[in-house]
C-alpha cells in the first residue's frame, strides 16, 4: 500500500500546484475531495447483502451511477433490470449511501460483525485501507483531502484494490471529476502473461485546462494584462517587393538565436494582413523588411504594445533589441495555456484564426 | 510548401541537437541524410511507365521495399505477384534507382519530355519540390542534409505530397531510419468530414535513445563518470526498530523541499538490503534514521561516493547539506537517458532490479 499512498500524494501535489497559480486558479481548482474506496470491501459488502459472486460486476456498475443518479433509480435498475431481490437491494442501499472520515468509517465497518465474519474478505480490504491511511498520515495532510465513500464503484472491471476519484467540490462545476485511479494488479498479466502489480492515477487535463483558461481570463481582466493566443515572439513582415524567401531567411536567423519567429505564408501578403495576423495572435514584435532594409542590411523593429519603432543592423544588435522587448513584454503578459493553434508558432495551414478573447493593443497604424 | 520546409527544418534541428551533446553522440547520431520525394512525382513516373491508375498503391508498396531488398527482387514481385508486364517494370527500374542532389535531379526530370508531357501531373509535383528547395535554401544549410531519392515510396497510403525519411549513414547501424514524415492532406478529412491539410514528422525516439545510451556509456567510460540508473537523490534508510511510517515522514519532508527521495517499501528491511538498493540504483545520498536519531530530531547523512558521513538537525540544515552534496554529485554524474524502472524514484512494485551497467562506488561499510 506504500505505492498506493504515493500515487494519491502525487495526485494531490499535482492538483494543488494548479490551484496555487493565482487566487483565481485557487477559486476554480482549489476545492476538491478525493473519494476513495476498495474493490475488495465493495465485493464483501455485496456478498454480505446476498449478491452471488458471479453477479458482483453488473451490480457494481449500477452502484457506479450513484454519483449521477439518486439511490432510488439505482435501486430500480438493480431490481428491475438486473433481477436482484428487493430485500437484497435494500441491504446494499444501507451500505453504499455511507461515506465519512476515512479512519472513522473504517472503525465502524470493523465493528460490523456480519461484514467481518471472515467469510467475505472484508477484513483484508479494511487492513489494506488502514495501512494506506497510516502511510497517508505520514505524508503530511494528505488524508485531510480524502473521504471514504462506499458509493464509489469505478465502472471499469480491471480494478482489484484501492479505487479513488478526485472531485471538485465548489458546487459550480457540473461534471466535477478531475482525476481518478486505483490498483489494477491483474491487467498487465492479462495481456503480457507475466503478473505485474500496478497502481496509478490519471489527471483530467482537458477539464483542468478548461478551468485554468477561465481563471487566466479572470486574472487578465483583474490585472489588465494581455493573454497571448500564440507563443510566437516575432512576426517577420515584408513590405513591397520582399518575398517569402527573404522573410524565411530572417526567420531562420531568429530561430538560430532561439527566438520564436514566423511569417505569413503567402508570397507577398499585404501589410495590413500581416499586421492583423500579429494583432490577432498577440505577437508582440514585428521585424520589418523592405527593399531598402534588404539593400542596407538593416531591419525595422516595432513593438506593438508601445508603438516604439527602431532600425537596427541585422545581427547581434537586432537580437538584443528583440530580447529586451520580449523580456519587457513577458512581465506584462500571460501565456495562453490552451491549445496553441499554431503549434509553437509553426503552422501547417495558412488560415487566419478568429481573434482571441484577450484585450488587444489598438491598431498602431 | 512553407510548412513542409519548416517541418524538415524542425526535424533536422531536433536530430542535430541530439548529436551535439558530446563527440560520442555526434559519432553515433551526427551522420544522417534526409531522403525525400513526392507522391505526385512517383505517381506520374508510374503512370508514364504504364501502371494503371488503380494499381499505383500496390506497385508503390513494392517500391517501398527497395531500402531493404535489391531491385531484382522488387522487380520479381512486381512481375510475378502483382502481374505487371516485364517491360513496364523495367521502365520503373530506370527511374526508381535514381537519386541525387535535389536541385540537380529535379532539373534532369524537368528535361524529361515524356514525363513532363502534361499528362501525369509531374510538373505540379516538380514545382512543389522546387518551391520546397527554395525555402530550404533560405533556411540555412537544410538542403545540404537532403537527397532526392526516387526509390522512396513510404508504404502508408495516406501521404499526398512530400514524403521523407531520415536515415543514419554511418554504416554501422543496420536499421538506420530515425525519423520520417510527409504531407497527408486528406487523412483528417477522411475521419473528421472537414478537410484539414497537414504535414508532419515523427522522430524515432526509441532508436535514438538506444543510440544515446551507447554514447552515454562511451562518454562515461572515457571520462570516468558514473551513469545513474535512477533519478532518486536520497534513499531514506531505517535502522533497528524504525518502521516504514517513520521513513515515509522523512521522505515527505524531502519531497516538500523538491528533493527526489524514496525508501525501501517493506516494514523493517535489513540495513544491507537498503544499502544494496542505493548502490544498485546509484542513489548518491543516504538519510539514516535510527531510534536515537528519531528521539533527538536529527538525521545521519551519508554520501556514498566519498564516504562522508555527518549528523544534522532535521530541517533546513539537513536540506542544505543534501543539496550541497547533490550539486557536487551532478558535476560528476551522467543521468541515465533510458527508461527509469522506478518512474522518477517512485515504484509500484518492491522488486529490486538487476544492477545497472555503470561503474559502482565500492561498498562503504
Query: At B71, which CATH number?
Result: 3.30.930.10
In this structure, are B161 and B239 located in the same domain?
A: no
Residues of A in contact with B349 (CB under 8 A): 3, 196-197
In this structure, are A7 and A127 located in the same domain?
A: yes
How many residues are recorded in chain B?
A: 365
Write the pLDDT tens digit of every residue in A28-53. Answer: 899 999 999 999 999 999 999 999 98
How wide is the angle at C-alpha B276 spanned by C-alphas B271 and B278, nearest 5°? 100
Low-confidence ranges of chain B (pLDDT < 50): 335-365
In this structure, are A117 and A32 located in the same domain?
A: yes
pLDDT value at residue B64: 87
Write the pLDDT tens digit of every residue in A246-260. Answer: 999 999 999 999 999
Chain B CB within 8 Å of residue A139 CB: yes
φ/ψ of A293, rounded to 5, equals: -60, -45
For residue A254 the three cell numbers come to 531568429
pLDDT value at residue B170: 76
Helices within chain A (DSSP H only): 2-19, 23-29, 39-48, 56-63, 71-76, 86-96, 102-110, 122-138, 187-192, 205-223, 244-256, 271-281, 291-296, 316-330
B35 with B147: CB under 8 angstroms? yes
Q: How many Cα atoms sit within 13 Å of B15 on the Cβ side?
A: 29
Full domain range(s) for residue B184: 2-220
pLDDT value at residue A338: 38
Q: Is residue A347 situated within a structural domain?
A: no
Indicate if the alpha-carbon torsion angle B74, B80, B81, B83 is positive or negative: positive
- Contacts of A10 by beta carbon, 8 Å cutoff, 6+ apart: A201, B346
| CB nearest B139 (choices: A7, A197, A248) | A248
- State how far the Cα of A35 lies from the Cα of A15, in Å rounded to an integer: 15
Q: Which of A345, A348, A349, A350 should we substitute to test contact with B (largest number of B Cβ atoms within 10 Å)?
A: A348
- State how far the Cα of A42 lies from the Cα of A39, in Å rounded to an integer: 5
Split into its structural domains, chain A has a count of: 2
In this structure, are A125 and A17 located in the same domain?
A: yes
pLDDT value at residue A342: 38
In this structure, are B277 and B213 located in the same domain?
A: no
In this structure, are A201 and A246 located in the same domain?
A: no
- Residue A253 C-alpha, separation from nearest chain B C-alpha, in angstroms: 8
- Residue B93 C-alpha, separation from nearest chain A C-alpha, in angstroms: 34
Q: Is residue A358 situated within a structural domain?
A: no
pLDDT value at residue B334: 52
Nearest to A289 by CA among A259, A323, A254, A337: A254
Question: How many C-beta atoms lie closer than 10 Å to residue A176's C-beta?
Answer: 19
> Which residue do the cell numbers 540504483 mark?
B281
pLDDT value at residue B343: 38
Question: Hey, is A344 helix, strand or coil?
Answer: coil
| CB nearest A252 (choices: B7, B138, B196) | B138
The interface residues of chain A toward chain B in range 257-286, judged by CB-CB distance below 8 A, are 265
pLDDT value at residue A173: 61
Nearest to B198 by CA among B186, B214, B216: B186
Chain A CB within 8 Å of residue B185 CB: no
φ/ψ of B26, rounded to 5, equals: -60, -40
Residues paired with residue B258 on neighbouring β-strands, in sequence order: none
Q: Is residue A22 situated within a structural domain?
A: yes
In this structure, are B198 and B251 located in the same domain?
A: no
> Which residue do the cell numbers 505517381 mark?
B43
pLDDT value at residue A225: 74
Using the 3D structure, point to which of A220, A239, A255 is the last residue of a domain.
A220
Q: Is residue A357 situated within a structural domain?
A: no
- State how far the Cα of A245 lies from the Cα of A228, in Å rounded to an integer: 27
Q: Is residue B351 situated within a structural domain?
A: no
Chain B CB within 8 Å of residue A144 CB: no
- Contacts of A56 by beta carbon, 8 Å cutoff, 6+ apart: A43, A46, A47
Where is the binding site for L-histidine, in residues of A?
154, 158-159
> How far are the Cα atoms of A166, B231, B350, B355 from residue B341, in angstroms, in the given order?
27, 10, 11, 12
| CB nearest A138 (choices: B198, B249, B348) | B249
Backbone region of residue A307 per phi and psi (left: phi > 0; alpha: psi in -120 to 50; beta: other values) = left
Tell if the CB–CB gap between B349 and A244 is shorter than 8 Å. no
pLDDT value at residue B140: 86
Query: At B271, which CATH number?
Result: 3.40.50.800
In this structure, are A82 and A180 located in the same domain?
A: yes
In this structure, are A209 and A61 located in the same domain?
A: yes
Chain B CB within 8 Å of residue A10 CB: yes
- State how far the Cα of A151 lies from the Cα of A162, in Å rounded to an integer: 13
Residues paired with residue B37 on neighbouring β-strands, in sequence order: B163
| CB nearest B348 (choices: A134, A198, A349) | A198
Low-confidence ranges of chain A (pLDDT < 70): 155-156, 171-175, 332-365
- State how far the Cα of B59 lies from the Cα of B53, in Å rounded to an integer: 10
B122 with B116: CB under 8 angstroms? yes
In this structure, are A164 and A289 located in the same domain?
A: no
- State how far the Cα of B275 lies from the Cα of B364, in Å rounded to an integer: 9
φ/ψ of B246, rounded to 5, equals: -65, -40
Residues of A in contact with B246 (CB under 8 A): 138
Q: Is residue A348 situated within a structural domain?
A: no
Tell if the CB–CB gap between A139 and B249 is shorter than 8 Å. yes
| CB nearest B252 (choices: A10, A138, A249) | A138
- Residue B125 C-alpha, separation from nearest chain A C-alpha, in angstroms: 18
Chain B CB within 8 Å of residue A104 CB: no
Q: Which of A1, A4, A5, A6 should we substitute to test contact with B (largest number of B Cβ atoms within 10 Å)?
A: A6
DSSP assignment letter at A262:
E
- B158 marked ligand binding residue: yes
In this structure, are A199 and A236 located in the same domain?
A: no
Q: Is residue B359 situated within a structural domain?
A: no
> How far are the Cα atoms of A14, A24, A337, B205 from residue A21, in angstroms, in the given order?
12, 8, 12, 33
Question: Hey, is B113 helix, strand or coil?
Answer: coil
Residues of chain A above pLDDT 70, percent: 89
Residues paired with residue B334 on neighbouring β-strands, in sequence order: B227
In this structure, are A147 and A25 located in the same domain?
A: yes
Q: How many Cα atoms sit within 13 Å of B328 on the Cβ side?
A: 13
- State how far the Cα of A263 lies from the Cα of A243, in Å rounded to an integer: 11
A232 with A363: CB under 8 angstroms? no
- Contacts of A306 by beta carbon, 8 Å cutoff, 6+ apart: none
Q: Is residue A351 situated within a structural domain?
A: no
Terminal-residue alpha carbon distance, chain A: 65
Question: Hey, is B42 helix, strand or coil?
Answer: helix
Amino acid at each position: 500500500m506504500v505505492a498506493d499512498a504515493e500515487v494519491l500524494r502525487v495526485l494531490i501535489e499535482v492538483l494543488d500546484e494548479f490551484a496555487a497559480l493565482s487566487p483565481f486558479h485557487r477559486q476554480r481548482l482549489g476545492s476538491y475531495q478525493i473519494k476513495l474506496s476498495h474493490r475488495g470491501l465493495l465485493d464483501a459488502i455485496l456478498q454480505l447483502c446476498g449478491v452471488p459472486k458471479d453477479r458482483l460486476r453488473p451490480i457494481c456498475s449500477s452502484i457506479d451511477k450513484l454519483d449521477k443518479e439518486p439511490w432510488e433509480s439505482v435501486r430500480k435498475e438493480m431490481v428491475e433490470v438486473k433481477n436482484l431481490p428487493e430485500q437484497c437491494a435494500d441491504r446494499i442501499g444501507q451500505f453504499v449511501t455511507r461515506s465519512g472520515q476515512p479512519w472513522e468509517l473504517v472503525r465502524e465497518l470493523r465493528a460490523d460483525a456480519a461484514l467481518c465474519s471472515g467469510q467475505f474478505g472484508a477484513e483484508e480490504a479494511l487492513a489494506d485501507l488502514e495501512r494506506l491511511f497510516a502511510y497517508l498520515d505520514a505524508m503530511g495532510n494528505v488524508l485531510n483531502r480524502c473521504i471514504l465513500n462506499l458509493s464509489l464503484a469505478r465502472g471499469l472491471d480491471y480494478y482489484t484494490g484501492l479505487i479513488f476519484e478526485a472531485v471538485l467540490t465548489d458546487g459550480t462545476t457540473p461534471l466535477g471529476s478531475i482525476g481518478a485511479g486505483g490498483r489494477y494488479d491483474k491487467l498487465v498479466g492479462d495481456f503480457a502473461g507475466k503478473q505485474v502489480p500496478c497502481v496509478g492515477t490519471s489527471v483530467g487535463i482537458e477539464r483542468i485546462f478548461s478551468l485554468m483558461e477561465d481563471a487566466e481570463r479572470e486574472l487578465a481582466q483583474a490585472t489588465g494584462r494581455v493573454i497571448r493566443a500564440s507563443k510566437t515572439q516575432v512576426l517577420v513582415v515584408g513590405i513591397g517587393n520582399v518575398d517569402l524567401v527573404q522573410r524565411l531567411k530572417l526567420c531562420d536567423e531568429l530561430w538560430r538565436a532561439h527566438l520564436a519567429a514566423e511569417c505569413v505564408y503567402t508570397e507577398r501578403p499585404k501589410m495590413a494582413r500581416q499586421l492583423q495576423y500579429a494583432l490577432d495572435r498577440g505577437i508582440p514584435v514585428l521585424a520589418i523588411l523592405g527593399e531598402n532594409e534588404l539593400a542596407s542590411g538593416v531591419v525595422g523593429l516595432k513593438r506593438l504594445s508601445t508603438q516604439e519603432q527602431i532600425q537596427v543592423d541585422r545581427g547581434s544588435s537586432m537580437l538584443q533589441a528583440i530580447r529586451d522587448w520580449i523580456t519587457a513584454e513577458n512581465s506584462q503578459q500571460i501565456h495562453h495555456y490552451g491549445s496553441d493553434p499554431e503549434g509553437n508558432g509553426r503552422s501547417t495551414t495558412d488560415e487566419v484564426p478568429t481573434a482571441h478573447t484577450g484585450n488587444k493593443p489598438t491598431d498602431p497604424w
